[in-house]
């Protein structure tokens, strides 16, 4: 079973890296990009388990380690 | 009196902290490997700076799961003095012993420089002999030192007097120009509600003798030792 986890900075948390990338795009002459927020993407391979168990496990993993909910939001998708 | 200096894979200011306590202040210091599950017999704990676990995932995120951090939590709950410096501060934030989080410096640059701090409270074991308003010259060296917390948390820690140090200019004024990393409220160090756990981004262990450029950092360790001595009576 495969899953994908997305960790993004919460609204209101400064993202100087995203800002720098956005500025660099406009230096390349690409206009129209108003904002970029940089996050993390993880591919997870899970052992045999039911979908509800996988959801519970991933939520627990995100809450306790993978995301810092003071500054980050998370969501995940389970394949299949 | 015995002070524990924790050592994680990737700690790199552990020897500086050890030197400050053992050689500069002539107190007993001992390295404690992160796999230790107990801090019995210690009177104070230093979580030094460095790059624990290569800063993987987030700074301090993996170190918070080391066995010794359970012992640090128990030590802190019992009122023992704990200081986390730089990466040590980040570990305390990740472990929830202190509120908030660190994000990348506003400038996107690693900053390695002397800064001036204004002491905001003498209520911690580390500042008890440093009067409020005292300016200290202490160096910073970090990429993720931009302190962040939501508005409610900021209001709470400000209201409780948990802000211990702020970045300021040479005259002691807290200004945007004197804030090296973009921290909310120019916060450089905070303590827990009880005051016995301090986290700070600047490195007091790097300035404990005049030949290091400043000896101001020594005052924090002296404070801690005098606190321990007094409480042992």
Supply the pLDDT for residue A12.
87
Mean pLDDT of A8-19: 91
Q: Give the closest-approach CA distance of B66 to chain A in angstroms.
A: 13
**What mean pLDDT is predicted for residues B6-26?**
97
Question: Does position B175 have pLDDT exceeding 90, yes or no?
Answer: yes
CATH tag for A2-78 (out of 1.10.3720.10, 3.40.50.1820, 3.30.390.30, 3.30.1280.10):
3.30.1280.10
Beta strands of A18-71 (E only): which ranges? Answer: 40-45
Task: Tell me the mean pLDDT in the region A35-51.
Answer: 96
Contact call for B94 and A13, based on CB within 8 A: no
Report percent pLDDT > 90 for chain B.
99
Mean pLDDT of B212-223: 97
All residues at 6 or more sequence positions from B119 whose CB lies less than 8 Å from its CB, including other chains = B127, B130, B131, B132, B133, B134, B135, B136, B164, B165
Cβ proximity of B217 and B134 under 8 Å: no
DSSP H/E element including B111: strand B111-119
Q: What domains does chain B contain, in order, with CATH numbers?
A: 2-232 (3.40.50.880)
Whether residue B179 has pLDDT greater than 80: yes
Q: What is the pLDDT of residues B134-145, one digit of tens each?
A: 999 999 999 999
Q: Residue B233 has what pLDDT? A: 62
Is B19 one of the catalytic residues? Answer: no
Residue B177 has pLDDT above 80, yes or no: yes
Across the range A2-10, mean pLDDT stands at 97
Residue of B nearest to A18 (CA): B108
User: Which one, of B99, B53, B98, lies nearest residue B72 by Cα?
Assistant: B98
Which one from B142, B205, B222, B227 is the annotated catalytic residue? B205
> Rounded to whole angstroms, how far apart are CA atoms B171 and B47?
30
pLDDT in tens, B94-138: 999 999 999 999 999 999 999 999 999 999 999 999 999 999 999
B34 catalytic? Reply is: no
């Amino acid at each position: 079973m495969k899953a994908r986890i997305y960790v993004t900075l919460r609204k209101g948390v400064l993202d100087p890296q995203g800002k720098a990338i956005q500025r660099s795009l406009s230096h390349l002459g690409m206009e129209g990009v108003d904002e970029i927020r940089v996050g993390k993407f993880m591919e997870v391979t899970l052992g045999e388990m039911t979908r509800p168990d996988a959801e519970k496990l991933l939520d627990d993993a995100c809450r306790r380690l993978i995301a810092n909910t003071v500054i980050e939001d998370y969501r995940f998708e389970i394949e299949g | 009196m015995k002070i524990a200096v924790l050592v994680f894979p990737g700690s790199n200011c552990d020897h500086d902290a050890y030197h400050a306590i053992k050689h500069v202040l002539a107190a007993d210091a001992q390295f404690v490997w992160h796999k230790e599950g107990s801090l019995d017999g210690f009177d104070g704990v230093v979580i030094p700076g460095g790059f624990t676990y290569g800063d993987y995932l987030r700074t301090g995120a993996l170190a918070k799961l080391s066995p010794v951090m359970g012992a640090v939590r128990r030590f802190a709950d019992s009122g023992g003095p704990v200081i986390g410096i730089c990466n040590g501060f980040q570990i305390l934030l990740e472990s929830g012993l202190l509120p908030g989080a660190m994000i990348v410096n506003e400038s996107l640059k690693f900053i390695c420089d002397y800064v001036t701090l204004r002491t905001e409270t003498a209520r911690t074991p580390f500042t008890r002999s440093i009067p409020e308003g005292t300016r200290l010259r202490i160096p910073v060296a970090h990429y993720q030192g931009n302190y962040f917390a939501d508005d409610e948390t900021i209001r709470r820690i400000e209201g409780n007097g948990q802000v211990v140090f702020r970045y300021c200019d040479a005259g002691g004024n807290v200004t945007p120009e004197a804030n090296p990393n973009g921290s909310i409220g120019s916060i450089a160090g905070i303590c827990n509600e009880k005051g016995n756990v301090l986290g700070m981004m600047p490195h007091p262990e790097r300035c404990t003798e005049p030949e290091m450029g400043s000896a101001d950092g020594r005052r924090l360790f002296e404070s801690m030792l005098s606190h321990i001595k007094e409480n042992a009576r």
